[in-house]
Amino acid sequence: MAAVQVASSLLGGSPREAPRELPRELGAGFRRLSARLCALRPDDSSSYRTEIHLLLDQLISENYSEGGGVAPEDVSTLLVQTCRLVPLNQNHLVSKVSQLMHHLLNTLQVIVDEQNLDFLLAYTTSALQQCSCWTHVQVLQALAALVYGNGSKCQKYLPDLLGKSGLLVKLSDLTQPDPEVRRAAVHCMANLCLSVPGQPYLEEPYQNICFQAFLTTLQSPKSSDMDDITFCMLLQNALKGIQSLLNGGKMKLTQTEELGALLAVLKKSMFHGLPGINIEMPTVLYPTPLPQYDGRPPARSQLSEPGASRPAMNKKKKSKIKPKKMQQGEEEEEEESSGEREAALASSLGRASLHEGGGVRPPSPLGVQGLPFEGGGAAGKDRVPSPFGPSAWKRLSSSESDYSDAEGGMQSKMRSYQAKVRQGALACLLSTVKSIEKKVLYGYWSAFVSDTPELGSPQSVSLTTLTLKDPSPKTRACALQVLSAILEGSKQFLSVAEDTSDHRRAFTPFSVMIASSIRELHRCLLLALVAESSSQTLTQIIKCLANLVSNSPYNRLKLSLLTKVWNQIKPYIRHKDVNVRVSSLTLLGAVVSTHAPLPEVQLLLQQPCSSGLSNSNSATPHLCHPDGWRKAPAGPCLEEASLGSPAGSSEPCWLIRLCISTVVLPREGCCAGVDAGCAAGSTHVPSPMRLEALQVLAHLARGYFSVTQVYLMELGEVVCKCMGEVDPSVQLHGAKLLEELGMGIIQQYKSDSPLAPSQRVPVTLVALFWTAVLDGPLPRALQSSEHPTLQASACDALSSILPDAFSSLPSDWQILCVTVLLGLNDSRNRLVKAAASRALGVYVLFPCLRQDVIFVADTANAILMSLQDKSLNVRAKAAWSLGNLTDTLIVNMDTPDPSFQEEFSGLLLLNMLRSAIEASRDKDKVKSNAVRALGNLLHFLQPSHIEKPRFAEIVEESIQALVSAVLTEAAMKVRWNACYAMGNAFKNPALPLGTAPWTSQAYNALTSVVTSCKNFKVRIRSAAALSLPGRRERYGSADQFAQIWRALVTALQRSEDTADFLEFKYSASLRTQICQALIHLLSLASAPDLPCIKETLELNGDMVQPYILQFLKSGAEGDDSGAPHGQQERDQMVRTALEHVSSVQDLPGDTAKRAIEGFLQDTLTIYFDSVRC
């Protein structure tokens, strides 16, 4: 009911306090007065009216501040009885009844029940129609209190209130002569639009009527007969109404004119009353990336001048006041003097030093408040309330009585109301940003994000103007939250930015304009960072910087942006406020995770610990010693790490040392007294700090493992300490760090790693690391069934062990790992089961395990069981593991020892085929790996298997499943895998390809895809599959061969036909693969096949020959088809085809052989002539 307080000043002051001489039972006065009122009977005498007046005055003046002892139903009963006692022809009494209704409902926070609501609505509506105009303000206040939270129950009265000639529509119109009546009517409409979860929204026609009324109110200038405070309250109510429509009513702004008009008026309102800023906006903003306004003279105030960041309003320096708990309707609105802000800016950093700024990126947009898993925790939620939270509109409804001359007088009161308008506009803008699609939002990017520091036009003032110039910390925080919402998810939009080279053109490219916006955002946010004194707003600045870094393409921008952010944020990791420290760590984690690895960040990580700290110390007076975290004596691991630190530096990576000390060391005394987030008796820093530090370490392990590997053993100790703690969130983050460290080691040992063997972590050290971890709390975490999320993370961590290191572990540890994973695969928790299935799929590829028939068979049975699970996630992980297991079967086929194939159970193979066929009919996430497994299994089948009737049947079902996957309109990954699987099956010489009935189905599917699939990578893979059979008889009859040949020629002809421009980059690879397939078919063709080949060459030879010449000259770079890349290898393919055709015994009177020979000879002649030239 706090929203009703907006009009409470009209009651002539706050309620008088009851006498406090004698304590009495709560609510006794209300019940006594209520009983007297209910005992009255309607009368027309003067004494009756006097009694009513007296009772109403006493009820209004009763002290309800504690709100106890008064039941909501008693309030509703009293109000109904009062309305029955007061006829509508008694204007004065109606006015007092309305005051009482508003006062009780507002003060006691009562939502009237539906039955009484109907009677009271009828009374107030009739009062508006019958009573004198001077009562309308009080009646409208009462009506606003009634409909608050009851909008869905007022359907019966909506035509009278919001219809074409409805009461509220007329009273809120611009033609309404009384400004207070107009404001109260808009307030009623706003409360009607307020929706309650679980109740129906306002119907769309009424939503549109209210929206237009609110929009018109915001667009209209202040009338001459309206005072400034009433005008501010009018704007607040209109903004509240629009926000309610967007939030609860889920109103969609689909019309460009409608959205543009709203954005235009919101931009104007968000600068309402801001000293030094007075802009004129067009009626509608139109989406465009280019400036809409020019020709306006620039204002004197320049955003790039730090000294002008606040207009001079009050040069007297205010004493710092500790924040106190705000009561309902009050507001902690600290307006800082411009002198303090200017001094902070001037002393912290000069104009030139931050002209280009810098920014930082968080691991997630949740920032501080996303804990426990994103670093915010309870401290973050309790200490950084959202400016747009549930209480935001309550604070917008303060009574005039909240202010006095001693608190600042009328000027201070006026500034406060203007600030609330700006906050309301920003809250409404935030709702608008969240309610429209990103692609629509970014059409208005330039209206709210400036790309130039110049002021003076609506285009140049932006959200960053408020962050630098608004005297209210709350308004600055609101602007930052809106800016964060705009930046969130903007990575694709900002990815076009580029300013790595100087652009000297007659026009400014869009990419340069976006890059300029990014630079300006960095500059302004860093200026705001060093000038801010409010901890809550400071946290919002850092979170906004984090969002900016999350989405900025630093690989396409000039260097130094990240360096400036890095150096400016370092001191804040020792700030007195825990939320600032947490968000600072989030920001540092963002820097090391954006586009990692970046050379600029690599250099920053190697800086000395003290580098960059002196620039901003003046902005953070509450810092501890910047190197305080290094006071603890370094252990042996640290000494060893320092000797081997990167780039030969004798100094360790300060960020890693900071994070380790934050996680494991006791908190220091200088910060211990200011951490509200610390648990009583806790010896560590607040949990959010520790979790964020663990996340930063995980980001470093993922993006900059070359720096992190120096601390491998020490980080192993950190992991063991964290996983051995009681707090599940710390355990979880410890397991995640372990997984990232394991994956970093695996990346070093990949075949395509550019790292020299001498720079890798030695296998012996990796084995020692994992031995220490397995000897620690990891096994206990794996068996922690009361924390399934921790179990799942521990499974993921266990799957990140280096295969070579696993084979070096003692056999006891190997057995433990395998046994635990097989056991967890039976877990009832689907999250754990999925993680265990995936881990088994990793282990089955280990060289030391893949030839163990018993382990492979046990893993296969476990995976087949998981494939039957009800959870899609479990089935998807199991299908992936089944694909890996069948990869192991193929690898084992190439070993000289045939014992594995002989010992592997045929019955298990049959079950695997059946399960894979069934999985190929599942969702795409399962299907893509199921078809991969089918291809491997068909490749693995031995002649002894295929001879059995039950296998012949399952082989046909498998081929049909692959054919279905190739032809279906599923995800392209599924079709690609199906084509690959088909080719894999063709490699098995034991399969009756060419003679089996399913041969034509398989080839028809591949030829259909190679000629018509929209995705060129799928076409490439199908052409590769068509070129795999090594003998002519495996292609089937002459008609089948001819069909394949014609399809490949048609596919070559269509190799540039696509509606998707992105597919063109694969067209060269497609032509290479098709040419290879055609030459392969020529090298196998028999005499009956030659006439068809001759016919197609006569028709399309002029098209085919240039492509074959291109294939001979260059092949295709980067294709994944397995096509030969060597020039001699390609020459030899054509020569082999020519020799084969020449050796074919042609049919009598047939000239096809000679024609084909001539085509190939001409092609080779042209090729060799071009090579010699």
Look at phi and psi of residue 279 and say left if phi exceeds 0, alpha if psi is from -120 to 50, else beta.
beta
| Percentage of the chain lying above the pLDDT 70 cut | 80
What SS3 state is found at 684? strand
Amino acid at 453: P
pLDDT tens digit string along 108-126?
888 888 889 999 999 999 9
State in Å, rounded, how far the first CA of the chain is from the last one. Answer: 89
Q: Which of 509-513, 666-670, 799-803 has the least mean pLDDT? A: 666-670
Q: What is the pLDDT of residue 17?
A: 38
Residue 337 has pLDDT above 50, yes or no: no
Distance CA 587, CA 695 (A): 11
Distance CA 1099, CA 1091 (A): 13
What are the helix (H) ranges across 202-335?
204-219, 228-247, 256-269
Distance CA 161, CA 157 (A): 6
Mean pLDDT, rounded, for 223-234: 91
Beta bridge partners of residue 666, listed in sequence order: 684
| Mean confidence (pLDDT) of the chain | 82
Could you say which DSSP state residue 666 is in?
B
More confident call, 849 vs 318: 849
Q: What is the pLDDT of residue 2?
A: 37
More confident call, 1006 vs 12: 1006
At residue 657 the predicted structure's pLDDT band, cuts being 50, 70 and 90, is: very high
The owner of tokens 């009361």 is: 786
| Percentage of the chain lying above the pLDDT 90 cut | 58
Could you say which DSSP state residue 83 is in?
H
Residue 197 has pLDDT above 90, yes or no: no
Residue 10 has pLDDT above 80, yes or no: no
Q: Could you tell me which residues come within 8 angstroms of residue 1095 by beta carbon, excluding any fewer than 6 positions away? A: none
Cα–Cα nearest to 965, from 1008, 1020, 1026: 1008
b (16+ CB within 10 A) / e for 852-883:
ebebbebbbbbbbbbbebeeebbbbbbbbbbb
pLDDT tens digit string along 1069-1078?
999 999 999 9
Q: How many residues does the chain have?
A: 1173
pLDDT tens digit string along 700-732?
999 999 999 999 999 999 999 999 999 999 999
Structure tokens at 1156: 């084909």
Q: What are phi and psi of 666, to 5 degrees?
A: -65, 155
Q: What are phi and psi of 518, to 5 degrees?
A: -65, -45
